[in-house]
Structure 1
Amino acid sequence: MLSIKNLSVKFNHFEVLDNLSFNVKDNEFIAVFGPNGCGKTTLLKSIAGIIEYNGTILINDKKPKDSKIGFVFQSYSDSLLPWKTVIDNVAFPLEINGVETNKKHKIVKDFLRGTILEEFLDYYPYQISGGMQQLTNIARAIIFDPEILLLDEPFSSLDEVSKTQVHAELRKFLKHKKVTTILVTHNYQEAETLAERIIKLSKRPTKITDIKESEK
């Protein structure tokens, strides 16, 4: 479970997040919706422990620095290793944790079975579409069984056809490996499509204006 209490973030005395508090249940999919520049990415970076913050953030009763966190950024092309194939990009977290080649490839193949990426395992990033590249990033962030998955507007640069396809594949990923997920977006339809609950944020200094169940 993710527990956030009285979270505030300031940059050079400029208040970005103002006393946010909310909980996310195990394996729940939450969308954080708000206008551009309201601090959605700052919220994710706080949860990931990347930036300093005031307040309390606990992931399964641990601080972020002691937790396994998957983070997918908006820019997909810069996040993949161009000299590695899809299967080896996805397997990279397993590789750096010492999993032998045959075993890590089996783990990836089992995870991607029945998904569109199954057809592209031996392709390099430059050989696949932007949507497939972002799916590769997402699969890599999930493959090592993180306690929480953070998605920073990962679909914003995709066209509508690609976005619909990637949404469907993400659901397959999360059906295979259950993980608490937080998506930030400024697209309310996307939030409704994917999430179980939606947290609405105000303009800066950012506060929570509403938390509601998705109508999907």
Structure 2
Amino acid sequence: MLEIKGLSVVFEDFTVLRNINLKLDNQLCVILGPNGSGKTTLLRAISGIIPYKGSIKINGKEVRSAKGVLEYSTNLQEVYTIGNSVWDTAKIIAEIKGGDLKEFTNILDYLNVDRKVIHKPMYKMSSGQRSLVSLALALFTRPQIVTIDEPVENVDVNKRDKVISLLREKVNEGIIVTQQKELIKMLHDNKKEVMVYTIVNGELVEGDKM
């Protein structure tokens, strides 16, 4: 369960997010918003990367104090700098979270990512490779709760359907933030309803307001 209460994020004198409230219990949520609206900032707060006011709890554990919440994962690339290469990073994650490295390489193969790139650090990859590799890193441990930032941004058109299929298969609970409204229909299936919100002027508003 992901529970956010009264969340605000302020940078210097600018309030990026204000009074965000959201509760997910085995639900998938798509959050829309243009560039600069605060979508990625929300995921960074949930991931414990930046300070925030209010409360963010993952399965009852406050993010501020919950170091290494094993049941949570994200595709934010800044969290994957713990190894000299992506493969080193994947091995560390597998050791910590009990993931199967074969699952990691299987996802890369499914997304048609050349395995040679995983022997580089993330910053030496193309933007498209970074998007796909960070998604594989986020999903291969089969986390209970996932946050995904712009899953098809910089991804080749021919691979986007595979990205969506992977998200539908492996993300049961969590948040996907995007500017691509068409993802809502693509993610929806008969088994799971997709909740939709939009960030408007730093506030979370129910429905598609773009």
Residue 132 to residue 52, structure 1, CA distance change in 2 (3 Å): closer
Q: 1:62 to 1:193 in 2, by over 3 A?
A: same
In structure 2, distance between residues paired with 1:110 and 1:148: 18
Deviation digits for residues 19-68 of structure 1, max 9, x if unmatched? 11111112x22111012111011111111111111111111111114123
Shift of 1:133: 5.5
Name 2:116's counterpart in structure 1.
Answer: 124
After TM superposition, the score normalised by the length of structure 1 is: 0.72
Which shifted more, 39-48 or 139-148? 139-148
Instruction: Please give the alpha-carbon distance, in whole angstroms, between the structure 1 residues aligned to 2:97 and 2:35.
Output: 40
Question: Alignment length, in residue pairs?
Answer: 193
- C-alpha contact 2:198 2:204 (8 A) present in aligned 1: yes
Given that residues 5 and 22 in structure 1 are in contact (C-alpha distance below 8 angstroms), is that contact kept between their aligned partners in structure 2?
yes
Task: Report the counterpart of residue 54 of structure 2 in structure 1.
Answer: 55
Counterpart Cα distance in 1 of 2:115 and 2:109: 10
Give 1 or 2 for the bigger CA radius of gyration.
Answer: 1
What percent identity do the matched residue pairs reach? 29
The 5 A counterparts of 1:135-154 are 135-154=132-151
Change in 2 beyond 3 A, CA 1:118/1:210: closer
Kindly report the root-mean-square deviation, in angstroms, between the aligned alpha carbons of the 2 structures.
3.4
Counterpart Cα distance in 1 of 2:140 and 2:165: 18
CA distance in structure 1 between the aligned counterparts of 2:57 and 2:139, rounded to whole angstroms: 20
Corresponding position: 1:4 with 2:4: yes
Match of 1:21 in 2: 21
Amino acid at match of 2:143: P
Does the C-alpha gap of structure 1 residues 119 and 70 become closer, same or farther in structure 2, counting only changes over 3 Å? Answer: closer
Q: Report if the CA contact (8 A) 1:90-1:143 is conserved.
A: no
Shift of 1:142: 2.5
Unaligned runs of 5+ in 1: none
What amino acid maps onto 2:195 in structure 1?
A: R
Q: Residues 124-156 of structure 1: CA distance to partner in whole angstroms, max 9, x if unpaired?
A: 117999766544322322333434211111321
Using structure 2 for the length normalisation, give the TM-score.
0.74
Query: Which residue of the partner structure matches residue 108 of structure 1?
Result: 101
State the partner residue of 2:186: 193
